[in-house]
Amino acid sequence: MARATRTGKAQGTRFAGRVRSWGTVALAASLLTALPAPTAQAGAAPALSIVGDETQPVFSRADAVYQQVDIETEADSDGDGRRDTVRMRILRPKETDTGLRVATIIEASPYWAGGNKVENHHVDVDVDGLPAGRQSALMDRVPGLASTSAPAGTSAHAASGPSVVWSGYTDNYFLPRGYAVAQVDSLGTGGSTGCPTSGGRNETLGAKAAVDWLNGRARGWDPDGRPVGADWSTGNAAMMGVSYNGTLPTAVATTGVEGLKAIVPISGISSWYDYYRAGGGVVAPGGYQGEDTDVLAKYVHTRADREVCKPVIDRLTAEQDRVSGDFGPFWRERDYLKDVRKIKAGVFVVHGGNDWNVKTQHFGQLWEALKKHHVPRKLWLHQAGHINPMPLRMEEWLTQLHQWFDHFLYGLDNGALSAPRVDVEQADFSWRQQGEWPERSTRDLTLRLNADGLSPHPGAPVRQTMTDAGRTVPAEQLVAGPDTARPDRLGYTTGPLPADLRVNGTPELSVRASLAGSSPYVTALLVDYGADTRAVAATTPDTSQQICYGEGIPGDTGCTYRTVHRTETADFKIVSRGWLDIRNRSSLAHESKVVEGREYRLKWAMQPQDYVFKKGHRLGVVLISTDYDYTLRYPAGTRLSVRAGFSSVTLPVSG
């Protein structure tokens, strides 16, 4: 999971507070800058400045106090007989040394200390499903990482002043408004002890310990080994981050820990099984074919003592099971959905429709679980991939995030929960707001996979067969040319659509099919056929304008470029994918016997999407076996036979 990197900073237009129109930016910034620091009667403690139910930027970022603490956790994951500790680095307003108490925004991560050179598992397997070797070395999995676990310019001891440069934007924007900001080294990484386990319970307890320490429930020590508490803390905390850093907030929130008031999981994992597995099969995160829990743990294992965790990581290799892909206790430990009912925090979920690393299933199933258990929630869906949305929609992002934190961490009645719950970015990069997702008008549309194409009506029950070639041919090549007959796919399309068709939700397949050969996979691809210019996963900086969103210091201006979407013009786009291991057609936890050539009723889901198929385009469903970039690759030649007319796809459509 790639951690979003800090974008370049330089002087530019100043953004502050709730400014929405660029004509008022300079005036608003100057007014906020002119606000005096908190004043109080002699002997009284300093206080927040709150105007219009909004915290104001009146504290000095340059004078912030830096603090480092090692916090005792409830875990002993390295088995040395001592409880693991996590290292937390904190920046807080200097007034916290004279009585000001503040809330804290935490980013826990295994990436602060960088990563190691590691190898992926080999994904070309023999007829028995056993790997044939190892993949090439995997390097720089997470680009742009810091080279040390501490912010640049800091020492091990408490410090203050402009020398303390911090990663990200929370220090520039939120610290002046009366928040502390903190970084936590996840277990087994950086200055923490313990072992990385790719979502294991110990990692949850490690990040949770930071919240406990802020509330006086965990012990902590300064770099000299002296006990230290958080007498400056209100006890209220938020957690946020992208990717792994966005997964840990959900993990901690599902413990029900007191004091965690808000989380912002951005492209975060909700169940690790669905990151490394799908439908009972071994399925890779996009871009990291052959990675698994042990590979990721080796990558982030950067603590000083590297030998102590070798047995722990070896257990990951043994227990993750890359042969069957079944769901079991190993994956149940890493499933946060089962504990969503315990969440006491307001949850602001963010995800990209083009994120194939942490796939859209993760936000979709988390969102439904939050809905079921009536957890206060908010959702942003954008058109990019595995990114931080801040520079993509900077002003609105900071406005809504600020409102969310002010409400949940300081109790301000600012309308955070009365605004529309969902923001969705459209194909033209405009945004729409709606009350729920999927949209309340959404209804199921079932289309039959007929021999002559997709139709609402069943056709003749014709048996159609393709021969698997996915070991050497990527899916993007297999779906091209919908009107060309190919022996290595089964394709079904509508005619030109008479109107725009919006799919928002999770497409589902119901297929009568049989397999004969070594591959157990059935893969479905939902395709938009029609020449168009569409967003891809990546974004790019717009260097024509730099925006200053917060207070700068030497080495960190508090400014950044906007980013804009990258696009590509093509004749088609794979909108969604879904995978099933036919051996797990009845249960993800247990395999069932498969008789070659026998037809089975197969049902499985694709990745959730919010996507508009334009008028005049054709909607297509393509069935293959091996998906080159995602599934294990068995020898070519498996025959997939489908009973057209009896098979269908169900699409959640609105409008």
pLDDT digits (tens, 9 = 90+) for 367-391: 999 999 999 999 999 999 999 999 9
What is the per-residue pLDDT for 42? 52
Residue 488: inside a domain, yes or no? yes
In a domain, 280, yes or no: no
CA distances to 141, 170, 235, 552 from 65, rounded to whole Å, are: 33, 15, 18, 15
pLDDT at 18 exceeding the cut of 60: no
Task: Tell me the whole-structure pTM to 2 decimals.
Answer: 0.92
Share of the chain above pLDDT 70, in %: 88
Question: Of 16-25, 273-282, 321-330, 593-602, which range is least confident?
Answer: 16-25
Per-residue confidence (pLDDT) for residue 316, from 0 to 100: 98
Tokens of 149: 């676990």
254-304 residue pLDDT tens: 999 999 999 999 999 999 999 999 999 999 999 999 999 999 999 999 999
Q: How confident is the model at residue 545 (pLDDT cuts 50, 70, 90)?
A: confident
The CATH number of whichever domain residue 464 belongs to comes to 2.60.120.260
* CA separation for the pair 466, 516 (Å, rounded): 11
Domain span at residue 480 reads 443-539+565-654
Answer yes or no: is 292 within a domain: no
For the stretch 213-234, pLDDT in tens is 999 999 999 999 999 999 999 9
Residues 480-485: contacts with CB under 8 Å, at least 24 apart: 480/571, 480/572, 482/527, 482/529, 482/572, 482/618, 482/620
In a domain, 501, yes or no: yes
Q: Assess if residue 320 is contained within a domain.
A: no
Cross-strand pairs, 559: 548
Residue 171 among the catalytic residues? no
17-31, 218-232, 541-555, 630-644, range with the lowest pLDDT: 17-31
Closest CA to 50 of 406, 415, 346, 551: 406
The three-state secondary structure class of 365 is helix
Q: What's the average model confidence in pLDDT over 421-437?
A: 97
Does position 159 have pLDDT exceeding 70, yes or no? no
Given the residues 167, 243, 267, 518, select the one marked as catalytic.
243
Structural domain count of the chain: 1
- Answer for the pair 48, 411: CB distance below 8 angstroms, yes or no: no
- Can you tell me which residue has the tokens 């970084």? 183
pLDDT of the residue at 160: 54
Active-site residue, 355 included: yes
Asked if pLDDT for residue 122 goes beyond 60, the answer is yes
- The one catalytic residue in 301, 386, 402, 407 is 386
The CA-atom distances, in angstroms, between 155 and each of 159, 269, 363, 375 are 7, 33, 38, 41
Q: How many CB atoms lie within 10 A of CB 568?
A: 11
- Does residue 632 surpass a pLDDT of 80? yes
CB 154 within 8 A of CB 191: no
- In terms of C-beta density within 10 A (0-12 exposed, 13-18 middle, 19 or more buried), how is residue 485 classed? exposed
What pLDDT was estimated at residue 44? 77
The residue from 355, 468, 528, 627 that is catalytic is: 355
96-106 pLDDT, tens per residue? 999 999 999 99
620 in a structural domain: yes
Q: Is residue 216 part of a domain?
A: no
The pLDDT of residue 144: 32
Residue 23's pLDDT is 28
The CA–CA distances, whole Å, from 385 to 102, 304, 433 equal: 34, 34, 20
Tell me: the pLDDT tens digits for 585-616?
999 999 999 999 999 999 999 999 999 999 99
- Please indicate, yes or no, if residue 31 is contained in any of the structural domains: no
Helix (H/G/I), strand (E/B), else coil: 251 = helix
